[in-house]
Amino acid sequence: MRLADVVRAALHALARHKLRSALAMLSIGVGVSGFIASVAVGEGAARQVQDQISSLGENLIWIEAGGRNVNGVRTGTHGTKSLMLADARAIEREIPLVANVTPNVDTRVTVIFGDQNWFTQVRGVTPEFVAVRRWSMEDGRFFTHEEAERLAKVCVLGQTVVAKLFGEEDPVGQTSAIDL
């Protein structure tokens, strides 16, 4: 049987069963579309996870205080305050291959500007934090070692806080309150 005969027989069968042919083509189209969409979502999620991992840095080591058991109840990392600033300084001093060390402490606060307020997470860090996380500043600058040493009242705001509190106003140089 020649190819032309096969094609002619197939077209004839499709023409005789129009509804069945249309439903078959529709189901094949839906199946292929679903497969393509699921592959695209999977690749997008994998790319997002990869971007998050690489944003941490190539050689990042994150050290947290370990949890402990109190009367049989595990407290988790936030229940232990065993890591001190001296530990970070000892890592800097004793391990010469470590390029940057930035201790941090996290809490949640309310930031107030004018008649607006926003409840957010605050992370106390040192100026090395920018190099460790490979962040860039959109506006303004990061605080300096001198400002950190003299406990200057300066902060770096994330884009969500800026948008919620300042709107279109430039936050650089403004004074806001932090309610602990």
Residue 160 has which token pair? 């969500």
H helices present in the chain, as ranges: 3-16, 18-55, 85-94, 129-133, 145-149, 159-166
What is the pairing mode between strands 116-124 and 105-113? antiparallel
* 143 plus 79 within the same structural domain: no
* 66 plus 95 within the same structural domain: yes
Pick the last residue of a domain from 67, 83, 100.
100
Q: For the whole model, what pTM was predicted?
A: 0.56
Residues 6+ apart with CB under 8 A from 99: 59, 131
Give the pLDDT of residue 72. Answer: 66
* 95 plus 110 within the same structural domain: no
* 47 plus 64 within the same structural domain: no
Q: What is the mean pLDDT of residues 36-45?
A: 94
Pick the last residue of a domain from 100, 124, 157.
100
Contact 158, 134 (CB under 8 A): no
* 108 plus 91 within the same structural domain: no
Radius of gyration of the chain (CA): 29
The 3-state DSSP class for residue 29 equals: helix
Contact 111, 176 (CB under 8 A): yes
Q: For residue range 139-156, what is the model confidence (pLDDT) as tens digits? A: 888 999 899 889 888 888
How far is it, in rounded angstroms, from Cα 134 to Cα 28?
47
Q: How many domains is the chain built from?
A: 3
* 82 plus 96 within the same structural domain: yes
* 81 plus 150 within the same structural domain: no
* 131 plus 166 within the same structural domain: yes
* 91 plus 156 within the same structural domain: no
* 106 plus 143 within the same structural domain: yes
Question: Model confidence at 39, in pLDDT bands (50, 70, 90)?
Answer: very high
Pick the last residue of a domain from 55, 75, 90.
55
Q: Bridge partners of 109?
A: 120
Domain limits at 115?
102-179
Q: What is the mean pLDDT of residues 99-124?
A: 88
* 50 plus 90 within the same structural domain: no
Task: Please determine, for residue 71, whether its predicted confidence score (pLDDT) is greater than 80.
Answer: no
* 120 plus 96 within the same structural domain: no
